[in-house]
Every structure is written in structure tokens, then in C-alpha cells.
Amino acid sequence: MTAREVLALMKQNLGSPWNESTYRDVFHAGNPDIEVKGIATTFMATLDLIQRAHAAGLNMVISHETTYWNDRDDTNGLTADAVYQFKTDYCLKNGMVVLRLHDHAHSHQPDFIMAGLVRALGWTASEGPGPRVYSFPKTTLGVMAADLKKRMGARAFRVVGDPKATVSMASVAMGYGMGRFSPGVDLIVGGEQPEADTALDLSSYVLDAAFFGMNKSQIILGHNISEEQGMEDAAIWLRTFVKEVPVQFVRSGEPYWSPGNG
């Protein structure tokens, strides 16, 4: 089975139409006509991840995010870069191929990435104020943050609000997204959040609301931490129709660290 044939099976088993005009969900490195010996699903096809997959005998990497450091994997202006050259040559010389699965990971029902995040959080959907709102036993923000840090394997996510504030219902988003406050929601959780100059500077709002005495809190997980778990769900899906070779979820790893947590 070639990597190109694996992609054909993915298209057949997605359960919804494949967007053939996508610039994301295509091969970005290596030769798609190589024989696949094993598949690694991951969040990002870093050089470290590619080498670890190779060492494990997994020569096809299916990555949610980019290989060459920008959304389109546009390599114009990179051809003389030593890192680009080494990464490209490594894939070709070692029979590694990288396919991105971004748009169709999200279009699958359920969304692999959101399902993986909610599973990792261990929360249940609420019948309350809206979609992607989840409830959990009442606790404090400090206890919740410490639990999520351990549960998600995070080293550097950020928390805004009073550690003693009570929380029991969260609005959740992922990646570039951030939850939104609505009635009953006392905690918003997401992947990334600019501190200023957005439509609503949520971190600044939470800071002021907490100082004002309102029970509002925020946890910023990071893009990787909020989306990586979903690629394990993608691996489980792949195993339902790729029987000839092993399929493993391999963490690319959080890019950030804080002193004392490296």
C-alpha cells in the first residue's frame, strides 16, 4: 500500500465529501508513492517527530498542522534555508512522507479535534446556554487549572482570574479559538488568545471582571495542547479501514516551556 492509496482510503471513509481544492490536506514532504510500513498521526510534523516516527518504523506521518511553518506550506524563499534543506532531504533519503489532515479532521462528524479535546478534559456537555458548553463538579479555578495542567501534559498554559474563584461550567474552543461567556458560564477555555487589539480582549475583560468581584475565569491551553488529543481520535478512525500496517498516535510535543517546567 502506498501513501497515495492510504489517502484514497481516507477520502472513501471520511463520511462527507472531500474538498479536492484544499491546499492543506495534501502531501507536503516525501514521495507519496512509497510503500507504507506504518502510520504516525500527530499534531505537527516537526523534524523531531519525523525522526522519532522513522525510528519506530512509521514512514507515513499524518499531521494536523504544517510541515514548513506556514498555513500553505509555502516554501518560496525557503529553498536556501539550512533547516528546510535538511528536513526535505531527510524525508526523501529515509523514505518518509508527510500528509496533512486539517480541514477534513474538522469536517468529520464528529470533529476529531474537538472530540479529542473534550475527551481529554473529561467533561460532559451541558443542556445550558449553548453548544460547546461543558459542566463539571464545582471546584476552584486554582484546583481546576492544576488538574488540567497534569491531565493535558501541559508545561506552559496560562490562567487568568482569582485562583479561589468557583468554577463549574466552561465554554470551550480549540486552536486559535477561545470560549465565550454566556449565562451560567464562569470559565472560558481555548487554545490561543491575543492580550490586546481583538474584537473583545477577553483576558483583559476577565482580569477586570475578577477584580470587580465577578466570578469570571480563563484558561489558555495553547494551540498544540488544545488540538493534539484529536489526532489520537484520527488514529482510531484510520485503524477501522487501514489493516495492513500499524497506525499509532505520536505526540509532537508542546513547543513552550516555563522555568521549572522544562
> Same structural domain for residues 55 and 155?
no
Name the CA dihedral angle for 47, 49, 52, 58, rounded to a multiple of 10 degrees.
Answer: -110
> Same structural domain for residues 165 and 185?
yes
Helix H or strand E encompassing 93: helix 82-93
pLDDT per residue of the chain (262 residues) written in tens, 0 to 9: 999 999 999 999 999 999 999 999 999 999 999 999 999 999 999 999 999 999 999 999 999 999 999 999 999 999 999 999 999 999 999 999 999 999 999 999 999 999 999 999 998 887 666 679 998 999 999 999 999 999 999 999 899 999 999 999 999 999 999 999 998 999 999 999 988 888 889 999 999 999 999 999 999 999 999 999 999 999 999 999 999 999 999 999 999 998 876 5
| CB-neighbour burial class of residue 223 (10 A; exposed 0-12, middle 13-18, buried 19+) | buried
| C-alpha triplet 196, 222, 77: angle, nearest 5° | 85
For residue 237, tell me if it sits in a domain: no
> Same structural domain for residues 138 and 215?
yes
For residue 235, tell me if it sits in a domain: no
For residue 234, tell me if it sits in a domain: no
- Taking phi over 0 as left and psi of -120 to 50 as alpha, with beta for the rest, 30 belongs to left
Please identify which residue in the block is written with the cell numbers 511553518. 69
For residue 262, tell me if it sits in a domain: no
> Can you read off the three cell numbers belonging to residue 159?
490562567
Nearest CA among 67, 49, 7, 27 for reference residue 238: 7
What is the DSSP track for 206-235?
HHHHHHHT---EEEE--HHHHHTTHHHHHH
For residue 156, tell me if it sits in a domain: yes
> Same structural domain for residues 172 and 216?
yes
- Taking phi over 0 as left and psi of -120 to 50 as alpha, with beta for the rest, 160 belongs to beta
Last residue of a domain, one of 76, 109, 142: 109
Please enumerate in sequence order all residues whose Cβ is within 8 A of that of 230, keeping only pairs 6 or more positions apart, or say none: 64, 105, 111, 112, 113, 114, 115, 116, 117, 174
Q: What is the pLDDT of residues 11-62, one digit of tens each?
A: 999 999 999 999 999 999 999 999 999 999 999 999 999 999 999 999 999 9
> Same structural domain for residues 116 and 105?
no
Structure confidence at residue 131 (pLDDT): 75
| CB-neighbour burial class of residue 228 (10 A; exposed 0-12, middle 13-18, buried 19+) | buried
> Same structural domain for residues 168 and 146?
yes
- Taking phi over 0 as left and psi of -120 to 50 as alpha, with beta for the rest, 195 belongs to alpha
> Same structural domain for residues 116 and 24?
no
Last residue of a domain, one of 93, 109, 125: 109
Cβ neighbours, 10 Å, residue 17 = 9
For residue 20, tell me if it sits in a domain: yes
The count of structural domains within the chain is 2
Structure confidence at residue 126 (pLDDT): 73
Structure confidence at residue 128 (pLDDT): 62
For residue 260, tell me if it sits in a domain: no
> Same structural domain for residues 95 and 162?
no
> Same structural domain for residues 124 and 203?
yes
For residue 239, tell me if it sits in a domain: no
Range of the domain at 101: 3-109
For the chain, the farthest-separated pair of C-alpha atoms sits apart, in whole angstroms, at: 61
> Same structural domain for residues 23 and 52?
yes
Please enumerate in sequence order all residues whose Cβ is within 8 A of that of 228, keeping only pairs 6 or more positions apart, or say none: 42, 43, 64, 116, 251, 252
> Same structural domain for residues 120 and 93?
no
Is the distance from CB of 84 to CB of 75 less than 8 angstroms? yes
> Same structural domain for residues 52 and 12?
yes
Last residue of a domain, one of 109, 131, 157: 109
| CATH code where residue 49 lies | 3.40.1390.30
